[in-house]
Chain A
């Protein structure tokens, strides 16, 4: 049984993979299992307050105490700051990302 899942999103809004990642994290979280959503590489754009479904569902996830983290390095490389992200998204370093992946019982990449 997998009770904790790390969901990595590496693609931006506009690519289906980003939506699939958010939906998976939401489904796992609302099922009462642990979900850690990681925004990596171009996936950091998914953490912006964009109009549309992705941001709307991510806001719901954050409101329901879902954990969403963003890769600091990828954010800086794209000229973005924590203030650009939805409120509640944690900006973390690569060492922290490795720890989250290591602690999860399963990992999916989108």
Chain B
């Protein structure tokens, strides 16, 4: 029987491995035939927006760039959404970070704790908080 996991992700890009863990767990749960909601909260909202391409030369050495790219999981969020994950962000936390007007990734929807998170709760079997 299919179950629904809701992840509250409170860590953003680069600060730790929480987003990588959340993405890996979500992929595994979806592949097992279950459903996953992800609510981006706190610094987790740093994952919500489309990245802007760098024009001109990237002034980062190859090995440092490889290290930085390792922690960028935005494309994987889009992939998880295509696999069926429902991903929403907290616009209030974005407002506090000055990113609320930025364009969202294809896989991420505008949201808030009062509407999106409580809506997730209504279909959740397992609730998991990931963050520091």
Which of A1, A3, A24, A109 meets B117, CB within 8 Å? A24
What CA separation (Å) do A98 and B109 show in the bound complex? 36
Which residue from chain B places its CB closest to the CB of A1 in the assembled complex? Answer: B122
**Contact (Cβ within 8 A) A27 B118:** yes
Chain B: interface residue total (CB-CB under 8 A): 18
What CA separation (Å) do A73 and B57 show in the bound complex? 57
- Residues 24-52 of A contacting B (Cβ, < 8 Å): 24, 27-28, 30-31, 33
A52 to chain B, nearest CB (A): 14
- Residues 73-132 of B contacting A (Cβ, < 8 Å): 92-93, 113-114, 117-118, 121-125, 127, 129, 131
Which residue from chain A places its CB closest to the CB of B92 in the assembled complex? Answer: A23
**Contact (Cβ within 8 A) B113 A1:** no
Using Cβ atoms and an 8 Å threshold, which residues of chain B touch A5? 121, 127
Using Cβ atoms and an 8 Å threshold, which residues of chain B touch A2? 121-122, 124-125, 127
Question: Provided the pairs A2-B127, A27-B113 are in contact, do residues A17 and B42 lie with their beta carbons within 8 angstroms?
Answer: yes
Which residue from chain A places its CB closest to the CB of B4 in the assembled complex? Answer: A1
**Contact (Cβ within 8 A) B8 A33:** no
Which of B41, B118, B123, B131 meets A31, CB within 8 Å? B118
B3 to chain A, nearest CB (A): 11
**Contact (Cβ within 8 A) B123 A20:** no
**Contact (Cβ within 8 A) A106 B114:** no
Which of B10, B42, B124, B131 meets A106, CB within 8 Å? B124
**Contact (Cβ within 8 A) A28 B8:** no
What CA separation (Å) do A109 and B131 show in the bound complex? 9
Instruction: Please provide the 9 A-B residue pairs with the shortest distance between their CB atoms, ordered closest to farther.
Output: A106-B127, A31-B118, A27-B114, A27-B113, A108-B129, A2-B121, A2-B124, A1-B122, A23-B113
A residues adjacent to B (C-beta < 8 A): 1-3, 5, 16-17, 20, 23-24, 27-28, 30-31, 33, 106-110
Task: Please give 4 more A-B residue pairs, beta carbons under 8 A apart, in addition to A2-B127, A23-B113.
Answer: A2-B122, A16-B42, A28-B121, A108-B127
